[in-house]
Copies of this chain bind each other. A is one copy, B any other.
Amino acid sequence: MPVNLTAPNPQDVLPVPGVKLGIAMAGVRKANRRDLVVVTLAEGSHVAGVFTRNRFCAAPVQLCREHLAAKAGTRAMLINTGNANAGTGEDGRSRALSTCVALARHLGIAPEQVLPFSTGVIMETLPNDRIEAGLPAAIADLAADHWVQAAEAIMTTDTLPKAASRRVQIDGKTVTVTGIAKGAGMIRPNMATMLGFVATDAVIAPALMQHLVREAADDSFNRITIDGDTSTNDSFVLIATAQAGHAPITRLDSEAGALLRDAVIAVAQQLAQAIVRDGEGATKFITVQVDGGASEDECRQVAYAIAHSPLVKTAFYASDPNLGRILAAVGYAGIADLDQTGIELFLDDVHVATAGGRHPDYREEDGQRVMKQSEITVRVDLQRGDASAAVWTCDLSIDYVKINADYRS
């Protein structure tokens, strides 16, 4: 059961002028499953992306990087679920390229103008023939209002589609930002696939796109233990179709730039949090806030150590305020000169530990009360400086193991 998350209402997921989405059943892994999405982008669109740094990055990720580097002007995206086309060697690459060539031929564009994305099981051969056979149906289905259907078609172990929209006024023009995403296992989702696509009709200088997509990722998907260093397929793409008719945004610190940036980050954060809320087997949504660090990096390091600890996560699942497990995670986070006697620990409003030991006023029943909530903030103060960082995570439940033990069956 997702934690405080419901399926998006199609009326709330706003079309973005210049973007059309078409869905089809290609039978990639299972029959009668919408598993193929084609997205077309108006001429003049600008696209930027951030991708996994996993050295075993999937074939489609390699092609995305190359096609973006070619600066041919991205005009289409091709997304399949059911097969990640990762760990597939040279053969996987040529199969991914073959699907780009096929879509390009249908649309009358160049293969480098297509970005391919795959999600699903690793190390199995991509059935590119079935994907290519499914393209006409997906193209026939292209429509501006198919965002939610696309969000459904890219799911793997997600239980709900994930979509979000914002509207802002820039120079008297309405600008839309809409995104969809799919998630992953939630202990360390880095091995599953996270895909996120956010589109806007804003007019933005191409030079700003990479900066904006990186900033949005750092404030959203990179806060959910999907840290970009680790998965084979993780991809987050930002599209600007330049259809909104306002004067081009040339600086992100201008008024118009800030409006757009805030809207893009808000959409990305909503999607990222939705991934955690729908984490495999999740029963709790946990914010890990680390303050008082000497640097943002060390705060993040401590936050991840807590968020990744199976013992911490099982304690949350059990609503058991076994909070020493959190202190232990702080201790092994890798800060060599950490002074344990400086550590303060809070669970929402409850002051659990002070000076590295149990707070004299802390009562087990107060910890228990917070642990029973479905939304919990763990706050650690390192008392070493002024930096802060937060990550979002979920608990580790019996269902997590069941889901991942059964994933392929």
Contact = CB atoms under 8 A, between A and B. Distances in A.
Interface of A: 53-57, 84, 86-92, 121-125, 185, 187-188, 190-192, 229-232, 309-311, 314-315, 317-318, 320, 322-325, 327-332, 334-336, 338-341, 343, 353, 355-358, 396-398, 400-402, 404-409
A110 to B, nearest CB: 27
A404 B310 contact: yes
A86 B322 CA distance: 12
A190 B325 CA distance: 11
Nearest to A339: B55
B310 A91 contact: no
A39 to B, nearest CB: 26
Given A331-B54, A331-B55, A357-B91, A324 B122 contact: yes
Contacts of A122: 322, 324-325, 327-328
A372 to B, nearest CB: 14
Contacts of A311: 185, 188, 191-192, 404
18 contacts: A54-B331, A56-B328, A56-B330, A84-B324, A86-B327, A90-B355, A91-B357, A125-B358, A188-B310, A191-B309, A191-B328, A191-B329, A232-B324, A314-B405, A315-B405, A318-B406, A318-B409, A322-B407
Contacts of A192: 311
Q: How many copies does the complex hold?
A: 2
Contacts of A125: 358
A128 to B, nearest CB: 15
Contacts of A404: 310-311, 314-315, 318
A168 to B, nearest CB: 36
Contacts of A320: 405, 407-409
A357 B315 contact: no
A357 B334 CA distance: 34
A121 B324 CA distance: 8
A56 B123 contact: no
Contact of A191 (B187, B332, B338): B332
A328 B402 contact: no
A340 to B, nearest CB: 5
Contacts of A231: 328, 332
Contacts of A190: 332
A341 B89 contact: yes
A318 B353 contact: no
B123 A405 contact: no
